[in-house]
Amino acid sequence: MDVANYKERFPGGFPLLSPTQIDSIASIAQCRTYKDGEVLLKAGETGFLFHVIRKGNIEVIDRSGEKPQTILVHEPLEFTGDIANFSGRASNVDAIAKGQVEVYEICSDELHQLISEQPELSDTILNAFIIRGNALQETDFTGLRVIGAPDSQDTFRLRDFLSKNRVLYTWVDMETDPVVHTVSRNFGVKESDSPIVVYGNEWILRNPSNTLLAQKIGLKQVLNDEPYDLVIVGGGPAGLAAAVYGASEGLDTVVLDMTAPGGQAGTSSKIENYLGFPTGISGSELAARAAVQAEKFGAVFSVPAHVSKLDFEEQLSVVELASGERIKAKSLIIASGAEYRRLNVDNLAQFEGRGVYYAATKMEATMCGKDNIAIVGGGNSAGQAAVFMSRNVGKVYLVIRGEELALTMSHYLSQRINECGNIELLRHTEVIALNGEDRLESIGIVNNKTQEKSMLEVSAVFSFIGAIPRTEWVGEGIDKDDKGFILTGAHVAGSSKWNIERAPFLLETSRPGVFAVGDVRSESVKRVSSAVGEGSMAVQLVHEYLKDLNV
């Protein structure tokens, strides 16, 4: 990799700090000297230290591939780090002193405080961090390697988890890629160990759970025993908005999500009707920006956090995770959203991750190649998926139960679908069978008006049908409607669970101090913009609640 060319390609990622900015950092930093070859930052480790170079150079080295290679060399007045370090994740690279180096050094907490209090410095550092993170994706950076068979459900699970969390990785097909032999020799890997996750020649995980992998790479944060001011369950648009506003207004805030920030919106290839983005933005990018914004103000994200139960202790809400952890909250925002319904076919589990998917992103598009696919559903998510996938695959069959898209889909999307030559709309149609051996090869369909049955040869089917609220963990302590969505405001004013004199706030549930926002809330508008609005509004109501408690 050409060191000079790297900086030329991504100039905004390597600014020189001004004397005023240097003085701000020097006022709280420790001045330290490193000798030639000493390690300032080691790949795979957390506990980030931020360095501004006074004298000398720092070499940034990628050891994730077969051979170490220099990515770039930092010079005086530049600083180390990228967005992964800022978010508390394990470092992607090594930073090593090249000759004797003098630096200003501060810890992660001090950096967050500095960024929160000094807007100009914040913009300089965060912009550089974001550019550096994106730059690695546009180079030949290997990152983690996920080695597994293409039809393995666990291989898909690991790739899906890393992709949704925007962790840099390379998939290696263990059936065809010769690098597998090198890894097997270095780590003593057997085929039965697959899939495996490897970083260079440093470490290996054999078919890890998402939780174990998250702990290894710094996604899974250690949480406090003391009560948080605000706990948010769910990292979709509503939860992310609540995190930004809660943390920015001084609340000790933690976000718990089962998979990754973004929710259902995070799987959208392109959102074009969200205010402020006239050319559209992917759900993943929107979620990533919002998460950085929340982290900038001190919000903590812990992923994966599978919430299994909600209890109450006096005026505190207690969220229990499947791992046994218990997180206490002075106030709680439920933003756990909804999930797509599963297809009503007997052998569905056999093909999930092997031809049946619930998101249409670049990863799934790559897996499908030029094959024909089917998308089931008539809402905006299905429409976005159909338009996106039509640019990559051979043909898209859009399967809907009703007559017209206009009844369930935004006009601009239905219009594009009608104008797209390789999208075929199948009206009054339902999927009744999945066929194949190692992976999906075809689906059986039926016309629900004529009862005529037929077969479609497709390698993938994407399900975007209906919505089931993720409220199973809430239990009986919170009132819900007959479909399981959470009731709020005037709908719970007469609840037997409401135990204080004032009326419930607009987004408050039947339990004082517990709020529900976004798709999980009964009668909510199922749009990104309304979810963001509700998440933002809920924080103001949280302040009102906490003020009454005098906490």
Contact between 461 and 377 under an 8 Å Cβ cutoff? The reply is no
DSSP E strand boundaries for 81-162? 94-107, 144-148
Instruction: Indicate the fold that domain 3-137 takes in CATH.
Output: Jelly Rolls (2.60.120)
Tell me the CATH class for 144-215.
alpha beta
Token pair listed for 424: 């075929």
Contact between 81 and 48 under an 8 Å Cβ cutoff? The reply is yes
pLDDT of res. 407:
87
Domains 228-339+468-549 and 348-463 share a fold: yes
The helix (run of H) or strand (run of E) holding residue 169 is strand 169-173
- pTM for this structure? 0.93
Q: DSSP for 398-454?
A: EE-SSS-GGGTS-HHHHHHHHH-TTEEEETTEEEEEEEESSSEEEEEEEETTT--EE
DSSP E strand boundaries for 307-395? 307-313, 316-321, 326-334, 338-339, 356-357, 373-376
DSSP E strand boundaries for 90-163? 94-107, 144-148
pLDDT of res. 189:
82
Burial string for 457-483 (b: 16+ CB within 10 Å, else e) reads: ebbbbbbbbebebbbebbeeebbbeee
For residue 271, what are the contacts with CB-CB under 8 A and spacing of at least 6? 265, 277, 280, 281, 282, 283, 286, 384, 528
Token pair listed for 10: 């991504």
At 71, the amino acid letter reads: I
For residue 379, what are the contacts with CB-CB under 8 A and spacing of at least 6? 408, 409, 464
pLDDT in tens, the chain (551 residues): 455 578 888 888 999 999 999 999 999 999 999 999 999 999 888 888 999 999 999 999 998 887 888 999 999 999 999 988 888 888 889 999 999 999 999 999 899 889 988 999 999 999 999 999 888 888 878 899 999 999 999 999 999 999 999 999 999 998 888 878 877 787 888 888 889 999 888 889 999 999 999 999 989 888 889 999 999 999 999 999 999 999 999 999 999 999 999 998 888 888 888 899 999 999 999 999 999 999 999 999 999 999 999 999 989 999 999 999 999 999 999 999 999 899 999 999 999 999 999 999 999 999 999 999 999 999 999 999 999 999 999 999 999 999 989 888 999 999 999 999 999 999 999 999 999 998 999 999 999 999 999 999 999 999 999 889 999 999 999 999 999 999 999 999 999 999 899 999 999 999 999 999 999 999 999 889 999 999 999 999 999 999 987 65
CA-to-CA distance for 318 and 331, rounded, in angstroms? 10
For residue 161, what are the contacts with CB-CB under 8 A and spacing of at least 6? 210, 213, 214, 259, 260, 304
Please state which of the four CATH numbers 3.40.640.10, 1.20.1250.20, 3.10.129.10, 3.50.50.60 is assigned to the domain occupying 228-339+468-549.
3.50.50.60
pLDDT of res. 44:
83
Unique residue bearing structure tokens 């339990």: 511
The CATH architecture of the domain made up of 348-463 is 3-Layer(bba) Sandwich (3.50)
The helix (run of H) or strand (run of E) holding residue 171 is strand 169-173
Which residues pair with residue 436 across a beta bridge?
A: 440
CA-to-CA distance for 530 and 432, rounded, in angstroms? 35
Burial of 169 (0-12, 13-18, 19+ CB in 10 A): buried
Burial of 131 (0-12, 13-18, 19+ CB in 10 A): middle
pLDDT of res. 551:
52
Torsion 452-455-456-461 (CA) sign: positive
Contact between 132 and 12 under an 8 Å Cβ cutoff? The reply is no
Which residues pair with residue 426 across a beta bridge?
A: 399
The helix (run of H) or strand (run of E) holding residue 514 is strand 514-516
Domain boundaries, the chain: 3-137, 144-215, 228-339+468-549, 348-463
CA-to-CA distance for 499 and 6, rounded, in angstroms? 62
